[in-house]
Homo-oligomer: A and B are copies of this chain.
């Protein structure tokens, strides 16, 4: 069993209005040293495979086919062995 921890973020060149809203809220709470805020998605998949390279391939395909929009988003992931 492996756990894939996937981060999906908007590409740097794409405007992030949700991030801007959070940044504004943090500034109005008094946190003036916060300069830039970006919001993304986090997805955790439990993959029931014995081979790590198979689990990596499944995680990568899941990102490309379903989870990430390759025009606007970048993704990265870690695959970690899990006992459960």
Contacts and interface: CB of A to CB of B under 8 A. Distances in A.
B26 A48 contact: no
Given A41-B41, A66-B26, A33 B47 contact: yes
Given A22-B67, A33-B48, A9 B42 contact: yes
Nearest to A67: B22
A42 B44 contact: no
Contact of A58 (B7, B25, B33): B33
Interface of A: 1, 7-9, 19, 22, 25-26, 29, 31, 33-49, 58, 61-62, 65-67
25 contacts: A1-B35, A7-B42, A8-B42, A9-B42, A22-B66, A25-B66, A29-B66, A31-B58, A31-B61, A33-B47, A33-B58, A34-B58, A34-B62, A35-B46, A35-B47, A35-B48, A36-B44, A37-B43, A37-B44, A37-B45, A37-B46, A38-B43, A39-B41, A40-B41, A41-B41
